[in-house]
Chains A and B, each alone.
Chain A
Amino acid sequence: MTALRHIFRDPVAAFGLLVVLFAVFVAIFAPWLAPYPDDAFESHLLQRLRPPSMEFPFGTDNLGRDILSRVILGTRNALVVAVSVVLASMLIGVPLGLAAGWKEGWMSEVLMRVTDVFLAVPQLILALALGQLIAPGIGAAMVALALTYWPFFARTVFAETRRLRGALFVDALAGIGASPARILFLHVLPNAAPAILVRATIGMGFTILTAAILGFLGVGAAPPSPDWGLAVSEARQHLPEAWWFPTFPGLAILLLVLGFNLLGDGLRDAADPRLRRSRR
């Protein structure tokens, strides 16, 4: 609750929260909000590449589909991909981070060295290679993104566990006979939750952006999906005539990623006021 109050007092972070809530609303009610919900798949070749008008506020694309409708329908894709990827990376990274942070020794060392290997290449490069090798398509791209993002959760949770392990309340719990599993999951994990939440929020922005790049390069979503990155890629052949075609899907990416990043920033401040907004 105090975190929420902090967000509302911070206009920039509140703007981020507003954007994210708006996107979630649009994603849930997309089929009812889109003026032409069938345009996810149907093409209308007689109305190709119409500029923005009252009828089509964002114009139409190369197959005569309403771009506003496709941007609205694409919101759901973007959020579903990002939420799945972040949850999957959490499921891998959080337990490994807890285990590695709790006990020093060869196991912990090996786990952290494995995160080193996955962090040894920039995430996009690794996701490109993995995605292409597994199988081209949005499913493989999601697996690849989760495989590249889990080390960040492992590192975050590792650092938090190491920090909390020496805390007085942990000693006290061990003293009265609490099992390590109980201490880890009921006491250490809740204390690490703010850091995990911040990491997850920033991860949402990162994943939406990276998934869009993969879609743009042809390694992610495939036509006729209303994917934003894919739309920008399809638009390239129709420039400079159809300026509206890449503009609006790109703005949608910008706005949603901006929302998550601003919210993540605000949450970080709320979670740890000592770090102020300016730190990482």
Chain B
Amino acid sequence: MAFYIARRLLLALPALLGLVFLTFVLSRVIPGDPAATLAGDAATPAQLAEIRAQYGLDRPILEQAVIHVRQVLTGDFGRSVFSGRPVAEEIAQRLPATLELTFAALLLSTLLGVPLGLVAALNHNGPVDHLVRVLSVGGLAMASFWLAIMLQLFFSMELDILPLRGRVDVEIGMPPLRTGLVLLDSLLAGRGDIFVDGALHLVLPAVTLCLPGLATIARFTRSGVLETLQKDFVLYARAAGYGRVRLAAIYVLRNAVNMVVTQIGLLFGALISGAVAVEAIFDWPGLGTYAVQAILSADYKALLAVTLVVGVVYAVVNVLVDVAQALIDPRVAEDAR
């Protein structure tokens, strides 16, 4: 097992190095001139040259590559050509907002998806089962940006019961900064009003973002429960007089949950992708809006840094998922040898 984990970690390393290389190649083929963007339209050639020298854009390409790799390895992503501030600092500032949103969405999809999948499996091939099947495929077919706008239209503009955008109301203000998570910080500061306001702001983005996860989790809970229901121990327990619901909710679900846990890790990619559009629509000040802003302003350092940070988190999550799979089913580790 230790051998398997070590091997899996080693395998993740080349992918990350490849990603650093890929991002550098990308930054070289970029068509816009970042120095021109930074200097503005009225810049003289002398000013442009000065800015190129300041940001190292005038050095030979090989030298730039070495500098790039060294900088990335030390967590230095350079300065944003848009704001002039260090990219690493800006990302660190925005990461908590994205984490709060994705965690809320993951929680919602688990809390709703597991019971849905369970009910569907217990009514196999019944009307509820078909409904959950259509829902679980439909959830993956729904364009997040469209759902976000539809929810905004109905709940914020038409009914006016949920806030349209942002993390908290401007008049209420952000809680004192500790973790960067509004819900946690407001509790730490003892500000119930901020907590309620923050939670209300979280509802629509989190509901939008949870849908693909909800669909996937419902689907895998359903198939996991169906598979477990066919096992011998279930037959024995039923013969011994266990109630159907109690058996399913306690013993079958516990066996099926392994399959669901591995899915939750894999959902991270869908969550981050969804967050880009959802954050842009709800003005959520996270990595997604940062990426969109970087694209619009041709801020390639910021864009590459976001890509890389997402890649690193993704790699770690995937290794954790593989290790979990191997722990749950030792045959996975055997096969990998």
Contacts and interface: CB of A to CB of B under 8 A. Distances in A.
Nearest to B266: A280
Contacts of A247: 150
Given A12-B134, A209-B141, A121 B150 contact: no
Contact of A229 (B143, B303, B314): B143
B52 interface: no
Contact of B270 (A122, A217, A235, A277): A122
Contact of A279 (B15, B223, B295, B306): B223
Given A253-B143, A265-B137, A121 B291 contact: no
Contacts of B145: 212-213, 216, 229, 232-233
B133 A277 contact: yes
Given A254-B138, A277-B133, A114 B26 contact: no
Interface in A13-64: none
Interface string B134-160: 100110111111110110110001100
Contacts, number: 146
Interface string A123-156: 1111011101111000000000000000000000
B46 interface: no
Nearest to A265: B137
Interface size class of B (residues with CB under 8 A): 35 or more
Contacts of A130: 26
A240 B295 contact: no
B314 A122 contact: yes
Contacts of A196: none
B31 A135 contact: yes
Given A128-B291, A229-B145, A239-B157, A133 B30 contact: yes
Contact of B307 (A126, A134, A232, A265): A126
Contact of A129 (B133, B150, B307): B307
Interface of B: 11, 14-16, 18-19, 22, 26, 29-31, 130, 133-134, 137-138, 140-147, 149-150, 152-153, 157-158, 219-220, 222-223, 226, 268-270, 272-273, 276-277, 280-281, 291-292, 295-296, 300, 303-304, 306-307, 310-311, 314-315
11 contacts: A119-B15, A120-B15, A121-B310, A122-B268, A122-B272, A129-B307, A132-B303, A213-B143, A217-B277, A246-B149, A277-B133
Interface of A: 12, 113-114, 116-117, 119-126, 128-130, 132-135, 205, 209, 212-213, 216-219, 229, 232-233, 235-236, 239-240, 243, 246-247, 250, 253-254, 257-258, 261-262, 265, 276-279
